[in-house]
Structure 1
């Protein structure tokens, strides 16, 4: 009988642990993470930033959050950038962020800025009639206007609007279509480059030894056609190994990496 009671206790404890884990997954305290990340930037009222972000999705059907719901967040961020600093990317997540992390001050990706840093790598949604932030499997999947996709579409547009001077983009030379028309870079960012502000687009085509493509790729021709008149276009093929070596050498200037 004693053994049965011990086993029963273990089962109860295990069940409580499972419930606790499920609650942690579904009801996620997003605000502390958001505020902590926000405080790494100077000059922001982080409580206000949280309020403008949260109002976009809390209490809404998670499948019907439009991009413009995040307009107050964009306004509160009031983001601007120095000329020649912005780095765009597509299918080069790891290499581009390794580079900007090691070569601090050279370039900024969206995820390095106040627009994207607080939410990078996170998921969230609300529910109609609820004031709670949910996450993971409690949120819907790939609906067109889900809270997360709408956020990234909106902040990507704002990031592109801030582009000025010489703009750089790291694209993947190991895939057949480096400039994919369905990517955020193609469908949102490039279309918003303002020729009165953006002087040039410099494509860094990141390749391996067995590169699938090069700067003559047909999709890159499409990219050139998408650019507004007056924006110059340049492309250079650079191996990932060279970028990694260069980013680890503090004596090499930013632009000298390609």
Structure 2
């Protein structure tokens, strides 16, 4: 064997040793890292109030018990503490969110022709609720606010609705980058997660101590904002739309219900005619990891949903557990049985990508 061949073999041997050392070092470094299981959203539920079964009781103006609240101490005291009433700093938060929405989050969608005046938007909202009893609100209370905030908006082929799937739907929508949910619109983004209620006897016109959440004699008061928000968003949707439903509902709850925001406010208000009409409704039915499958496409309440949609002249399609959403569900439920199997397969594929072969000794990072 000539000196050149010996030299080449020596170089190749060194390269192999270096590669093995690099892989070993990578494994050792990886094994020292312990990560928390991923959680895609701190909020798993919307702050929309639940819809109660309707009654035939006519709406009547509620007589408020007059209390001496003018001298009652405002718990906010210029700070942003958590209270049982109106969110402290409501005005500043809403106006700040409005500017952030238009100039930070979605600057490409904002131009000189559709910029909203954030102060005017807040003042329109405030005039609807300030110094007014919460239990006297109705579905027309916030009409001017929504008309101003959503003027000229049309959501074409990207509107996504949800029922019982808040966290997964919003993770998938990407805050409006992939699809657009109600909460991704300016009108809803300004108030999402906030609490407010008027008080006719308070010097500031808001009750910062306590807000009612159950107006027994007027079910529309609790739905005044989010009911109208859902209705308005449905009227803005055009082309193909998507609704993400929960096929693993427990306690007798179905994937599609007659007392949900989708059934009461959204489905009846999709446009069937004109340029900005809805052409197709795509139902995406999710089944939570480690939960029983209660309904699939074409079964039980989903059959009823299909009939309602097609009878209204819309094209309908349904899909159980799209792959794109399975990955998101496993991101939120990392230790679920089905997800652990998927993780092992994914780990093997990634090891092949990293090292050219599946490394069965590679330990999990979690």
TM-score (structure 2 length as normaliser): 0.57
The alignment partner of 1:223 has SS state of: helix
Question: Please, which of 95, 98, 107 is the counterpart of residue 171 of structure 2?
Answer: 98
Question: Please, which of 151, 160, 169 is the counterpart of residue 225 of structure 2?
Answer: 151
- After superposition, give the CA deviation of every residue in 1:207-248 in whole Å (9 maximum; x if it has no partner): 1353221112321222233335321111100165334579xx
Paired residue for 2:89? 29
Paired residue for 1:88? 161
In structure 2, stretches of 5+ residues that fail to align are 1-72, 103-109, 332-366
For the 8 Å contact 1:79–1:115, the answer to whether it is kept is no
Q: Which has the larger radius of gyration?
A: 2
The alignment partner of 2:128 has SS state of: coil
Paired residue for 2:257? 180
Paired residue for 1:237? 320
Question: Please, which of 153, 164, 167 is the counterpart of residue 241 of structure 2?
Answer: 167
- After superposition, give the CA deviation of every residue in 1:99-120 in whole Å (9 maximum; x if it has no partner): 1127x52200000111211111
1:165 deviates by 0.1
For the 8 Å contact 2:244–2:286, the answer to whether it is kept is yes
| Aligned residue pair count | 225
Given the superposition, is the C-alpha separation of residues 237 and 59 from structure 1 closer, same or farther in structure 2, using an over 3 Å criterion? same
Q: What does residue range 1-258 of structure 1 map to in structure 2 within 5 Å?
A: 24=81, 25=83, 26=85, 28-39=88-99, 40-41=101-102, 42=110, 43-77=115-149, 78=151, 80-101=153-174, 104-130=176-202, 131-135=204-208, 138-143=210-215, 144-146=219-221, 149-175=223-249, 176-196=253-273, 197-209=277-289, 210-227=292-309, 229-238=312-321, 240-244=325-329
1:74 deviates by 1.2
**Aligned-residue CA RMSD (Å):** 2.3
- Rounded to whole Å, the distance in 2 between the matches of 1:164 and 1:20 is 45
1:128 deviates by 1.9
1:161 deviates by 0.3
Paired residue for 2:57? none
Paired residue for 2:343? none
TM-score (structure 1 length as normaliser): 0.79
- Rounded to whole Å, the distance in 2 between the matches of 1:205 and 1:74 is 30
1:133 deviates by 2.5
- After superposition, give the CA deviation of every residue in 1:61-101 in whole Å (9 maximum; x if it has no partner): 11111120111101111152341010000010110111112
55-64 vs 87-96, which deviates more?
55-64
- Rounded to whole Å, the distance in 2 between the matches of 1:243 and 1:121 is 22
